[in-house]
Structures are given as C-alpha cells and as structure tokens.
Chains A and B, each alone.
Chain A
Amino acid sequence: MSGAARLLPGPIGVVLFLALWQIYCATSGISPLLLPTPLQVLRAFVEVMGEAPTWNHLSYTLGETLAGFGIALVVGVVLGWLIASSLLLERAVHPFVVASQIVPKVALVPLFVLWFGFGPTSKVVVSAVIAFFPIMTNTLLGLRSVDPGHDDVFQALRATRWQRFWQLQLPSAMPAILAGMEMAVVLATIGAVVGEYLGGSDGLGYFAVATMNAFQTDRLFAIIMLLTLMGFILYLAIAALRRVILPWQRKAVGE
C-alpha cells in the first residue's frame, strides 16, 4: 500500500462517523439534551476550553493521575522484583495479589473517601490501586524472562548480584514493564476520574457530574472529549518514552 492509501482510511472513517451523527440528530428530532450534534459539541468544547475553571479541573485531574501512576510504578516495579526474587514471597503474596484484582476497585472508592477524605488523596489512592497491577505482573513476567544464554554470560563473567539485576534482569524486563506502563497510565486516568465522580468538588470527573446535573449535555460531551485527549496524550508520552528507552527495538516492530 502507498503512504496515502494507508493513512486515509482512519480520517475518512472519523469524518463519516461525524457526518452520520450530524444527519441522525437532524433527521430523528432527538433532543439536544440527550444527544447534541457534533457541531454543538465542538462549539461547547471551544467554550469550555475558554473558561478558567476548566484548566483548574484539568490540572487537578492530571496531577492526581500522575501521582497515582507514579506510586503505581514504584510500588509495582519494587513488588514485582521482590516477588520475582523469592519463591517463598510469591507464594505468600499471591492470594492477596489475586484478591486485589478480583475485588471491584470502584466499589472501594467510598471506603477510600471515608479513609482519605474528599480531597485529592483518596483519588490518588484509587488511581494507584487500579494502575499498579499491570505494572507489577509485567515486571514479574519480564524479570522471569531473562534469556538463559545471557545468564550464562553473566555467570561466566562472575557478575555480582547487583550487576546482574541492573545490567541483565532490568534491561530484559524493560519491554514488558513499558507495556505494563502503557496500560497503567490509562487505568490511572480512569481511577482519578471515578474517584472525582464520587466525592469532592474539583477535577474533570466532578466537573462532568456537575455539568450533567445542569443538563448541559453538549458541555458534558466536551469534557469527555477533553478527558479522552488527556488520556491519549499520556499514552503517547509513554509510547515516546519507549522509543527513548528501547531504541534497539525500533526496527524490530516494523516501523
């Protein structure tokens, strides 16, 4: 396929979708309170982005997401590494890890609000709890997947335990850890927003609920757009980080 033939289907699909949406709203007579037209949403988006409180809500949510993601990253990698280095610990921790995944974490949000209050702390905790699992499992998986041949090389060179960790295990695990981070950053965003839905008076999640209660559906769509953009940019940031950290993988994935 030529470059244009490969790039075009994406934009064409989006344009077609928006056109159908617009036509549906115009012909079905559906109330804009239920479904505004794309043009109305765009107008509301421009309007919302021009208001100062939007930016405060955005920076609030972004701060919570990044804090939650950061905690998830550190705890996930350290715990993954601890479990990888001890079979005993793995057996001891395993039931808790599985349980922490099965519990619907959204159901824990009221509890976190009770413990940590309506401020940002409870949202950061929700965000971290939801995001940490893929990082931990991927770290564990990555550390376990060290090539035995590479291990032989390090053993023949009489590498110390630390050298083995920093120069063999961690680089071997890096692709898996970054894949976990890509998942985690999206989950961290969801965690922060869900936390805001249920308590407090700041952040895009709160903003969305308040807008809905005021029946400003077009503005609600605009906020959802903004949240999507934020998540997308965070995801792209991790993807960019991957290129910087794993330059040796670049051609291997067919770019």
Chain B
Amino acid sequence: MSVAVACQGIGKSYASRSGIVEALAPVDLTIGAGEFIVLIGPSGCGKTTLLRILGGLLAPSAGTLGLKPGADGRQNIGFVFQAANLLPWLSVEENVALPLKLKHEGRAKRLTRARELCAQVGLAGFERSWPRELSGGMQQRGAIARALADDPALLLMDEPFGALDALTRTRLNQELERLWLARGATVVLVTHSISEAVMLADRIVLMSPRPGRIQAVVKVPFPRPRDPALEGTVEFQAIASELRARLGETS
C-alpha cells in the first residue's frame, strides 16, 4: 500500500502566560492511501490539533509533514468540521459547489456536479433550499457533499457527527462508509465515540492528553461494508472494551 500521509515528529506548542504549552508532543504516524483512520481520545489530547495540521489550517511548530498528491497530481483535501459551516447566503447546491467555484470551474459544470453529490448524500430535492431550512443532520450531509466536491484524495473530518442524535449518527456513519468505499479516498476522522470509531476505522489511533500524544494504534479487522448489527457481536464489544479500558487509563 502506498503512503498517503507521513508525519514525522509533528508537534505543536503555544507560548502562553504560564510558559510554553505543548498541545501536541512530537507524533510519528504513517497513513496508507485509501485507509480509514480514526483519531480518538479525551479532550485536550491534541486530536483536533493534529487534524488541523494535516489540513493546513495550523502550522506545526516541529516536524515534517508529507502528503502524497492524488491520482491527478493535485494535493486536494476535503475538510468536514464539527459544525456544518454552510454559508447562509448560498443555496445548498451553491454551497456544495463552493470548492469548484474557488477553482474557477464553469457554472454549469459545477452545478451538475453539486446536484450529483446532493443526490449521493441524500439531499435530492433540497438543492435550492437555504441552509437554515435544513435540519442539523441534513446540513452536515451538505458539508460532507461540499468536502467531496473537488474529489479530494484526503478527507479530514473533525467530529462531523458529534452534534447529531444517535439515530442520525448511525445512518450517516453507514452512508459515510458507502461513500468512502465508492471513492477510495484516505479518511482521517476525529471522534469521541468508541462505537463510531470501531464501526468505521481500519485503524484507531488512541491519543492521550498533557501533552497530546499517540498512546496506541488498534487495528479493526472487520470486513466491509459493515452492518450496524455488527455492534452487537462479541468481537466488536471486545475491541470496544479494550479501547474503553485504555482510554480509562489516560483520563
């Protein structure tokens, strides 16, 4: 498997009044192309910091970051945030098409693509709606569609389903897996939820706080696509309780 993301000694520290605060101790992590990685850990473990560094939203204070360009030679990254962050003055389809607009794609082409994506994430019929007319779950679907619009080789997701109810969350987890299987992009997803992590990940990266660092990496061997019923099996629960125990040590 080729390497999509290579972190070598990536760290982040801030100067504060009480001296230098190390948000993220030097981290080494290699992610294969097409891999689904989940970062999990308690608050302050640096998982969001690491994700933002991967996405170029934050400059690391130490280390080197290697991102392999996608099949077409471009270094495309899709980012889904905790909040949908749809622009309220654009319709749903225009929001989804935003990455293409910023790349000066023609209007007809980008709207065709946006409608295609809306259909894929279950927003058919809402293309012309304003974001505020959509429920939280539907807005987050829009945010996912937007992140996929430019066909990113790397999809970064920061607790994308954290604000949603359990039912919507389970459904979106399933749909996310389906979208990912269809595209073969590399995914790095941050979550607080152990079951979400086990359900989605190829590998789970456990992080611990003060300073943020990688504590362990756990492989999840279940075949794809994974059925929600998997959660009831002994094997699933074994991995989940192992994670729970390890997370318990840190907090």
Contact A157/B102 with A150-B87, A246-B89 known, Cβ cut-off 8 Å: yes
B226 within 8 A of A: no
Most B CB within 10 A of own CB, among A155, A156, A167, A248: A156
Contact A248/B102 with A149-B81, A152-B79, A152-B81 known, Cβ cut-off 8 Å: no
CB atoms of A153 and B89 under 8 A apart: no
Complex formed: what's the CA distance from A71 to B98 in Å?
33
B55 within 8 A of A: yes
B66 within 8 A of A: no
Query: For chains A and B in complex, what number of residue pairs have CB atoms within 8 angstroms?
Result: 48
CB atoms of B56 and A156 under 8 A apart: yes
CB atoms of B85 and A152 under 8 A apart: yes
Interface size for B (C-beta < 8 A) is 21
CB atoms of B102 and A153 under 8 A apart: no
Closest to B95 in A: A153
Contact A150/B130 with A155-B57, A156-B56 known, Cβ cut-off 8 Å: no
Interface size bucket, A side?
10 to 19
Complex formed: what's the CA distance from A91 to B85 in Å?
32
Name A153's contact: one of B56, B79, B88, B101 (CB within 8 Å). Answer: B79
Name A174's contact: one of B89, B98, B101 (CB within 8 Å). Answer: B89
CB atoms of A248 and B85 under 8 A apart: no
Complex formed: what's the CA distance from A57 to B63 in Å?
73
By a CB distance below 8 angstroms, the chain A residues around B130 are: 248
Complex formed: what's the CA distance from A92 to B21 in Å?
35
By a CB distance below 8 angstroms, the chain B residues around A154 are: 102
CB distance from A186 to the nearest CB of B (A): 26
Name A248's contact: one of B89, B98, B101, B156 (CB within 8 Å). Answer: B89
CB atoms of B132 and A252 under 8 A apart: yes
A171 within 8 A of B: yes
Give residues of chain B (123-161) contacting chain A, Cβ–Cβ below 8 Å. 130, 132, 146, 156
- Could you give, for residues 213-239 of chain A, a 1 whenever the CB lies within 8 Å of some chain B CB and a 0 otherwise? 000000000000000000000000000
By a CB distance below 8 angstroms, the chain A residues around B78 are: 156
CB distance from B138 to the nearest CB of A (A): 16
- Could you give, for residues 156-174 of chain A, a 1 whenever the CB lies within 8 Å of some chain B CB and a 0 otherwise? 1111000100011001001
Complex formed: what's the CA distance from A150 to B81 in Å?
10
Closest to B79 in A: A156
A47 within 8 A of B: no
Give residues of chain B (51-110) contacting chain A, Cβ–Cβ below 8 Å. 55-57, 77-79, 81, 83, 85, 87-90, 98-99, 101-102
By a CB distance below 8 angstroms, the chain B residues around A157 are: 79, 98-99, 102
Closest to A164 in B: B102
CB atoms of A248 and B132 under 8 A apart: yes
Name B102's contact: one of A163, A171, A174, A246 (CB within 8 Å). Answer: A163
By a CB distance below 8 angstroms, the chain B residues around A149 are: 81, 83, 85
By a CB distance below 8 angstroms, the chain B residues around A248 are: 88-90, 130, 132
Closest to A171 in B: B89
Residue contacts A-B, CB under 8 angstroms, 11 given: A147-B85, A152-B81, A153-B87, A155-B56, A156-B79, A157-B98, A157-B99, A171-B87, A248-B88, A248-B89, A252-B132
Q: A152-B57, A155-B56, A171-B89 are in contact. List 6 more A-B contacts (CB 8 A).
A: A149-B81, A152-B81, A153-B146, A155-B57, A156-B56, A157-B102
Q: Which residues of B contact A (CB under 8 A)?
A: 55-57, 77-79, 81, 83, 85, 87-90, 98-99, 101-102, 130, 132, 146, 156
Smallest CB-CB A-B distances: 9 pairs: A156-B79, A149-B85, A171-B89, A248-B130, A153-B85, A248-B89, A149-B83, A157-B99, A159-B102
